[in-house]
Chains A and B, each alone.
Chain A
């Protein structure tokens, strides 16, 4: 199983809503990531979890809250988002750090209205 599964695939939410994005992998990878990607741009790193602990937060606004319940799961909790937060949110995992190659999920297309 070399898949990273993200749900939901599409999400539309209002600025006062609370929602969560979910990510799951069963490759035994110990590093998991959240990226944000705007159209025609490269992915921008948001958070890195290493061995279930948050190791990197790229100065992401607090309206994005990551959580790693166990080594296979990664969540991103969303609250009070702005329209400019609309983007493709990608989850990825790798054996250790990013230097060995990362496997990406299909992403969640988020629209904030």
Chain B
């Protein structure tokens, strides 16, 4: 059973376009995190959201945690080739709990 459904799994866009990645679950999480991973490297933590309805911005990236803490989205404005990579959402059921990863979104931004 996949607790975190991430979509789309693959996304290929042109430089300058906007995109949104979704992470959905029927379970309530105490927090949700987004990571970006480049080939041959470990995932890099982008953001942690903990409060329902919370919105965080990181330059051109906007992260939102759903009001019910069951879903999250990542929106990228004016994508650049440097945004290419695997984007992973991960949820935790409590502060001391293990992370549950979504399947990942493979993003390719072409110049």
Contact = CB atoms under 8 A, between A and B. Distances in A.
B99 A106 contact: no
Given A43-B101, A101-B33, A101-B48, A96 B42 contact: no
Given A104-B44, A105-B42, A106-B41, A97 B101 contact: no
Given A41-B104, A99-B92, A106-B40, 6 more contacts: A43-B43, A48-B98, A88-B40, A97-B96, A98-B99, A107-B42
Contact of B41 (A41, A98, A107): A107
Contacts of B45: 101-104
A100 B92 CA distance: 9
B88 interface: yes
B90 interface: yes
Nearest to B103: A42
A6 B90 CA distance: 22
Contacts, number: 75
Contact of A90 (B33, B42, B92): B42
Interface in A85-101: 88, 90, 92, 96-101
B30 A99 contact: yes
Contacts of A104: 35, 42-45
Interface residues of A, number: 29
17 contacts: A42-B88, A42-B101, A43-B43, A45-B99, A96-B95, A97-B97, A97-B98, A98-B96, A99-B31, A99-B50, A99-B92, A99-B94, A100-B95, A101-B31, A104-B44, A105-B42, A106-B41
Interface string A56-86: 1000000000000000000000000000000
A99 B97 contact: yes
B43 to A, nearest CB: 5
B31 A100 contact: yes
A103 B106 CA distance: 21
Contacts of A44: 101
